[in-house]
Amino acid sequence: MGWIDWLGMIFTFSSSYFLSKKMKVGWIFYVLSSLVWGAYGIWVVHSNAIVIMNVVLMFNGVRGFRNWGTGPS
């Protein structure tokens, strides 16, 4: 499973890029990166801390997607 960390890195960098360009699709990549890093925490490094962190980050990404454009500018 040496590819899973590379996939997580690609999704994380994509999220950062799209959000810096103020594009809502960045939140989708944010959630995808959290899912991939959570899977990495479960199957590769067996780390509960990584899994918990990425579950919280995933919910933050969903919240960011849902609230996009509703706050003050």
Q: Indicate the length of the chain as a whole number.
A: 73
**Total Cβ atoms within 10 A of residue 15:** 21
Domain-by-domain residue ranges, the chain? 4-66
Residue 49 CA to residue 73 CA, distance in Å, equals 35
Per-residue pLDDT tens, the chain, 73 aa: give them: 689 999 999 999 999 999 999 999 999 999 999 999 999 999 999 999 999 999 999 999 999 999 998 866 5
pLDDT of residue 37: 96
pLDDT of residue 2: 82
> Which residues are CB-contacts of 60 (< 8 A; sequence separation ≥ 6)?
30
Tokens 């919910």 -> residue: 59
Nearest to 4 by CA among 41, 47, 55, 48: 41
pLDDT of residue 1: 67
Q: Which two tokens stand for residue 12?
A: 């994380």
